[in-house]
Amino acid sequence: MSNGNTAISIDSIRLNSLEDLNTLRQNIIDKHDPNKPEVLICHGTGCIANGSVEVIDAFKKICADADIDAKIMPGIKATGCQGLCSKGPLVLIKPQGLFYQKVKASDVEDIIQKTIIKNEPVERLLYKDPKTGKPIKTEEEIPYYSLQKRVILKNIGKIDPTSIHDKIAVGGYQALAKALKTMTPEEVVTEVANSGLRGRGGAGFPTGRKWQGALKAVEKKGGPVYVVVNGDEGDPGAFMDCAIMEGDPHAVLEGLILGAYALGANKGYLYIRAEYPLAVKHLEMAMEQARAHGLLGDNILNSGFSFDAQINRGAGAFVCGESTALFTSIEGKAGTPRPKYVRSVEEGLWGNPTVLNNVETWANIPLIIKKGADWYSSIGTPKSTGTKVFCLVGKVNNVGLVEVPMGTPITKIVDEIGGGIPSGKPFKAVQTGGPSGGCIPNKLKDTPMDFDSLTDAGAMMGSGAMIVMDEHDCVVDIGRYFLRFLEEESCGKCIPCRLGLTKMREILDNFSAGKGKIEDIETLQSLAKAIQDGALCALGTSAPNPCLTTIKFFKDEYLAHINDQKCPAGVCKELITYSIDPDACTGCRSCARLCPENCITGKKKEPHVINADKCIRCGICLETCKFDAVQVN
Amino acid sequence: MIKFNINDTEVEVEPGCTVLEAARQYGIEIPTLCYHESVAPSGACRLCMVELKDGNWSKLVASCIYPAAEGINIYTETERVHNVRKWLFEMLLSKCPGSNEIKEMASKYGVTSTQFPIENTDEKCMLCGLCTRVCEEVVGLSAISIVDRGVHKKIGSPFLVPSDVCVACGCCVTICPTGAMSARIDAVRRTPDVTLTPLAL
């Protein structure tokens, strides 16, 4: 079943009550020696790409070969995403809590010799404070982590996601056992409604109200009712659902089972995009282990309540993240949306009442049931309760997963937690909500990240991607990028989306080629309005947002493209030229050697010249030059 | 019976009726291309968009699929409706310049030219899907379907290979609102020498 990760073999001991679960939990905790060293290696997608699988193998091999006392022989665990992706592969050493970054397989010997055997930190692998350069030993002391409020992400990176026992040890399935024993389904729905939880997929619809709507529909027309997990995360720059499914699959599953109990559903679906194979694998393992423990399937914990779920993999269409398209896809048809004038809670899967929630929303449910609605609603703002997981990406020092209370200002996330942008200057803008969201300029950096404030600013929360931009990002180019993405991803059912987005993109293409006319801006806004009003689903109605917000906040930059045929950010190829500053050029020939068009000439140790007619503006010379001699005009 | 207002005039219809059906019963004109009474509405062409108002709040809905409800206020000729219609006709004129039906309808609503580029002057199909819906829902064969996605969409038989599933009943040709299907049917059926039923001709 598992290749890289060795799962704890499934004990087919069926649990029959809350007491059974507590006994098992105590057994697991008792068996674990908290003083024994443990190595937690990040096995999230980012760290895997940076070589964490090799690091895991090296730990296993070296530990097996080295002469280590059994008392300090470390346990080795591959965990979910530990969060600070730009510094990966990450390794946490317990019990000291040492945080190592950018660990390579060649560093493992040192870690074992120094940290495990001699209990000393490996200085060079510690995180360094970007301002003072001082090494920081533990995760808790690193501002990136200490400034966050990790509730959903609490266990991700700390437990082995392929082990239900790891999850049970940290309190997994306690909420489910509590609800089955002490709460009626109605009380579960009321608790969720009172928590103020709003859907984390982007639109922010109150989850409790959605559930109540489904119950009313069932009352009116009868069952069956379905519960569905939307794991078709597809926004560029978003990977929080991926991290949750990969790193803490039981949290999603427990939330889903609780929802099923509350709504009286016996069947659930987890719709996960096919590009997330590790999430699919971990959820499959989680379901199998939960079934073996009597936490999923027939007569859960001997309560009389039965529920099972299955995984449906998306075939790669972005639009299938839209609820109705997702349903048609599960039903076995091409994933195209249908109008939502009759809501999905009334007519969803196969025309039956269906509750669809996002991965992160489901992961919130066990916390609400375990700790109560009052605890939950004390976090965040009155209208947007709880925390939100954001993916901080783009031109920012600390790229990774960030969880903060709702309502945290953008500047706190980008400048404090994210450590600002690499150049040290203020960021130019932040794109929230992916291709459906908007571009928020630096002057609005105090905007709180909650559903309503973002909508007021013309953007939207979306699923939680925050793409940070600096002065080298062109807003026209950003608009083109998102429109091109949605043009490709449009299902093509309705005309405004299928044909209108292409036209919008063509107008922006003209801007970036210096062929724009001033009246095109008005045309663009009128066409955008028609698409917002006319498109069938949210993919189309929200598609003009990035373009419209950039026009709203960065009109000068658009005018520079149109009136002066200039791209101030130096991105739009047809509007820029490269040249070499003769005073700064040392004649090292690096750029000339790499130029694919051979259009850089000059003698060694003498200033070089770029032939503008032959230059294709690929930017290789700019990236290569160590002396900042290449200039963009 | 359900009572509601279209353009400030009260209308009364049976429950289960859509806004478009109600409007047509009362002789109020709303343009449509992808709607036909013999198949379920799909809300694809968006020409039938109307404005639903409630005090200062309003939104546009597709009347062919929006259920009539007690007391709602519908407006069929507002600035927002006109803006959507104008752009839709411009898009249609660029994509289906070969269709006289579309040209006539667009000109009736005041749109005679398009800012969009014209790629294929003979093209008539606007991918409304009436042909595939009638083949599935009325004929019960699904000999044709919508193939591919987004801008690459087209109408065809499976794998774009002519198929014996097609019985050449001609329903798709009859229902096609733009005249596109009559030229296409021979690419769908395997035995093109069979004469189409009189209905289609």
Q: For position B195, what pLDDT does the model report?
A: 61
Which value does ipTM take for this structure? 0.94
Residue B192 and residue B148 share a domain = yes
- Rounded Cα gap, residues A537 and B10, in angstroms: 30
Q: What is the CATH number of the domain that holds A617?
A: 3.30.70.20
Whether residues B136 and B176 share a domain: the answer is: yes
pLDDT of residue A298: 96
- Residue ranges of chain B with pLDDT lower than 50? 200-201
Element (H, E) at A317: none
A523 and A602 housed in the same domain = no
pLDDT at residue B192, as a whole number: 56
Q: Give a yes or no: residue A153 inside a domain.
A: no
Domain membership of residue A617 (yes or no) is: yes
Q: Least CB-CB distance to A503: which of B61, B65, B116?
A: B116
User: How far, in Å, CA of A597 to CA of A316, rounded?
Assistant: 37
Asked if residue A124 and residue A49 are part of one domain, the reply reads yes
| CATH of residue A398 | 3.10.20.600
Clarify whether residues B98 and B145 are in a common domain: no
Question: Could you say which of B14, B47, B77 is where a domain stops?
Answer: B77
- Number of domains into which chain A is organized: 5
Pick the last residue of a domain from A469, A488, A516: A469
Decide if B126 and A338 are in contact by the 8 Å CB cutoff.
no
Judge if A404 and A451 occupy the same domain.
yes
A570 within a domain of the structure (yes/no): no
Residues A103 and A212 in one domain: no
Say whether both A202 and A291 belong to one domain.
Answer: yes
Q: Residues of A with CB below 8 A from B149's CB?
A: 317, 334, 490-492
Q: Which class for A184: exposed (0-12), middle (13-18), buried (19 or more C-beta within 10 A)?
A: exposed
Residues of chain A with Cβ-Cβ distance to B126 below 8 Å are 495
Question: What pLDDT does residue B119 have?
Answer: 87
**A13 occurs within a structural domain:** no
pLDDT at A66: 81
The answer on A336 and A218 residing in a single domain is: yes
> What's the structural domain count of chain B?
3
Is A598 a domain residue? yes
- A205 shares its domain with A352: yes
Query: A3 lies in a domain?
Result: no
Q: What does the H/E/C string look like for A241-282? A: HHHHHHHCHHHHHHHHHHHHHHHCCCEEEEEEECCCHHHHHH
Angle at A77 between CA A75 and CA A79, to 5 degrees: 155
Per residue in A101-138, pLDDT tens?
999 999 999 999 999 988 999 999 999 987 788 999 99
Do residue A373 and residue A422 come from a single domain?
no
> How far is the C-alpha of A130 from the C-alpha of A387, rounded, in Å?
27
CB contact under 8 A, B44 and A493: yes
Does A76 share its domain with A112?
Answer: yes
CATH number where B166 lies: 3.30.70
Same structural domain for residues A318 and A209?
A: yes
A8, part of any domain: no
Determine the distance in angstroms separating the CA of B60 from the nearest CA of chain A, rounded to an integer: 6
From chain A, pick out residues whose CB is under 8 angstroms from the CB of B155: none
Cβ separation of B150 and A342 shorter than 8 Å?
Answer: no
Residue contact B83–A526, C-beta within 8 A: yes
Predicted local confidence at residue A10, as pLDDT: 43
| Distance from the first to the final alpha carbon of chain B | 40
DSSP string, A451-509: HHHHHHTT---TTSEEEEE-TTS-HHHHHHHHHHHHHHH----SHIIIIIHHHHHHHHH
Beta-carbon contacts of residue A376 (< 8 Å; ≥ 6 apart): A195, A196, A197, A364, A367, A368, A385, A386
Looking up residue A215, the CATH number of its domain turns out to be 3.40.50.11540
- Inter-chain residue contact A502 with B66, CB threshold 8 Å: no
The CA distance from A485 to the nearest CA of chain B, in Å, is 12
Q: What is the pLDDT of residue A462?
A: 84
Q: Are residues A456 and A584 in the same domain?
A: no
Q: Could you list the residue range(s) of the whole structural domain that residue B105 is in?
A: 81-123
* Domain interval for residue A620: 577-632
CA distance A9 to A286: 12
Q: What is the pLDDT of residues A433-474, one digit of tens each?
A: 889 899 999 999 999 999 999 988 888 888 899 999 999 999
User: What's the confidence (pLDDT) of residue A331?
Assistant: 95
Ranges of chain A whose pLDDT falls below 70 = 1-12
Provide, as residue numbers in chain A, all residues whose Cβ is less than 8 Å from the Cβ of B65.
Answer: 339, 341
Looking at the structure, tell me whether residues A140 and A215 fall in a common domain: no
Which of A438, A469, A500 lies at the terminal end of a domain, its last residue? Answer: A469
Is B152 in the same domain as B112?
Answer: no
**Partner-chain contact B150 A334, CB within 8 Å:** no
Buried (b) or exposed (e) across A357-392, using 16+ Cβ within 10 A? bbbbbbbbbbbbbbeebeebbebbbeebbbbbbbbb
Residue B71 backbone class (left: φ over 0; alpha: ψ -120 to 50; beta: rest): left
Which residues of chain A make contact with B59, given a CB cutoff of 8 A? 533
Domain final residue pick, A452, A469, A486: A469
Say whether both B7 and B64 belong to one domain: yes
